Amino acid sequence: MPEKLLFVCLGNICRSPSAENIMNHLIDKANLSETIICDSAGTSSYHIGSPPDRRMAAAAREQGITLKGRARQFKQSDFQEFDLILAMDRENYRNILSLDRGGKYADKVRLMCDFCTRHTEKEVPDPYYGGPEGFNDVIDLLMDACEGLLQYVRDRAIST
Ligand code: 4NP
């Protein structure tokens, strides 16, 4: 059974689609696309159906990553569907856990920055209302987190 990862932010047009597509890029390079499957979602309904933010897409493209996908909202069944749910910031984390009424799935929900090895940030900052540099910083931070996450998923697959 493939390992299924879900990346979650607020709007699903900036951070989580970047995380999903960076992760897919690393997964492809590692020849693991049959083994690890990625998706992304937003806790809000603000941008359902929208493509990734064009400023975010431009920053990703500079690093050779094309942002694909359309925004969708996080839903209850995602708790069953996915093995790991990666929240971009603490607010996303709290909002996801508030939907897990029985507290059954808390172990699946993690903060994305827990997997960073080079950066010390604890959250992926929301770039939406900031300047262009914020988008580059998000890509840089997510590259680090995704590399750490890939290593974590590989180690976990070996030990189970
Ligand atoms: P994201 O960024 O959560 O990284 O997709 C945002 C996108 C839209 C809004 C906020 C954050 N918004 O308020 O519309």
Q: What integer is the mean pLDDT of 61-83?
A: 98
pLDDT at site 102: 92
| pLDDT exceeds 80 at position 77 | yes
Residue among 20, 88, 95, 126 to mutate when testing ligand 1 (max atoms within 8 A of CB): 126
Q: What integer is the mean pLDDT of 8-32?
A: 98
pLDDT at site 82: 98
**Residues framing ligand 1 (Cβ under 6 A):** 9-15, 46, 126, 128
Find where tokens 């996080």 sit: 74
User: What are the pLDDT digits (tens) for 110-139?
Assistant: 999 999 999 999 999 999 999 999 999 999
Specify the ligand 1 atom closest to the Cα of 18.
4
Residue among 7, 14, 96 to mutate when testing ligand 1 (max atoms within 8 A of CB): 14
Residue 143: strand, helix, or coil? helix
Q: What is the pLDDT of the chain when averaged over all its residues?
A: 97
Inter-residue contact 16 to 9 (CB < 8 Å): yes
CA of 75 to the centre of ligand 1 (A): 17
Instruction: Tell me the percentage of the chain whose pLDDT exceeds 70.
Output: 99
| Closest protein CA for atom 3 of ligand 1 | 10
CA torsion, points 53, 56, 60, 66, in degrees to nearest 10? 0
| pLDDT exceeds 90 at position 159 | no
Answering whether pTM is above 0.85, one says yes
Give the strands of the sheet with 84-87, arranged side by side: 36-42, 3-9, 84-87, 109-111
Residues carrying an active site annotation: 9, 15, 126
